[in-house]
């Protein structure tokens, strides 16, 4: 069985940056709140990178898809063809939905249908929902990792800093951060499924 652990990082599109004056040094509005809002919508943001580990083998190295968004999407859908189980944190409400929506915008037909069905753990195992047992508790990856006594993926950086790093040309650090999220998700998955 092929398992794909993955995470994406997103940044506002060039058009959204220009439309909202984020390219203006005089901007006085609460920029951080606006960036967060823009970065979470597939209409105003794009995929900057997608980190993943495809197993087997056990503890497969984590790779990063980067560059043109259309190429990231094509490569993801190629990986999806051979995947039996998609694993990530908040996949159903964010990552997979965002990938589907950006695929539509980029006119890239998904290679397969991935159901967004709730209350089951295949072919999507969403660690956020599985931890909460599909209740109302939507815990972040950082507090969950800490509760499970796993290393925090957010040491030194978190999602709120992605755009700042991107604007400063620090993409390599964003890629490392995204890889850290994937490794943590993999460890959380193993704890939740008692396969550690």
Which pLDDT score is estimated for 117?
84
Name the strands in the sheet holding 85-88, side by side, starting at the edge strand that comes first in the sequence: 63-66, 45-55, 3-12, 85-88, 124-126
Which pLDDT score is estimated for 28?
46
Which pLDDT score is estimated for 137?
81
pLDDT in tens, 139-178: 999 999 999 999 887 777 777 889 999 999 999 999 999 9
Pairing of strands 124-126, 85-88: parallel
What distance in Å separates the CA atoms of residue 160 and residue 36, rounded to the nearest whole number? 7
For the entire predicted model, the pTM comes to 0.92
Question: What is the set of domains in the chain, with CATH numbers?
Answer: 3-192 (3.30.420.10)
* 62, pLDDT greater than 60: yes
Contact 8, 98 (CB under 8 A): yes
pLDDT in tens, 95-132: 999 999 999 999 999 999 998 888 888 899 999 999 99
Which has the closest alpha carbon to 59: 193, 162, 153, 189?
189
């Amino acid at each position: 069985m092929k398992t794909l652990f993955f995470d994406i990082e997103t940044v506002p599109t060039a058009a959204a940056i220009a439309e909202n004056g984020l390219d203006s040094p005089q901007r006085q509005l609460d920029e951080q709140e606006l960036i967060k809002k823009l970065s979470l919508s597939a209409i105003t943001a794009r995929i900057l990178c997608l980190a993943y580990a495809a197993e087997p083998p056990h503890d497969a190295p984590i790779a990063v898809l980067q560059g043109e968004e259309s190429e990231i999407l094509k490569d993801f859908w190629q990986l999806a063809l051979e995947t039996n189980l998609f694993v990530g944190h908040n996949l159903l409400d964010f990552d997979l939905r965002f990938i589907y929506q950006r695929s539509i915008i980029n006119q890239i037909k998904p290679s397969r249908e991935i159901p967004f069905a709730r209350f089951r753990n295949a072919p999507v195992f969403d660690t956020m929902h599985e931890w909460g047992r599909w209740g109302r508790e939507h815990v972040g990856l950082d507090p969950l990792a800490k509760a499970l006594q796993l290393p925090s993926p957010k040491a030194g950086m978190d999602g709120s800093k992605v755009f700042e790093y991107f604007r400063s040309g620090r993409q390599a650090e964003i890629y490392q951060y995204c890889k850290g999220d994937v490794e943590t998700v993999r460890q959380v998955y193993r704890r939740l499924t008692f396969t550690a």
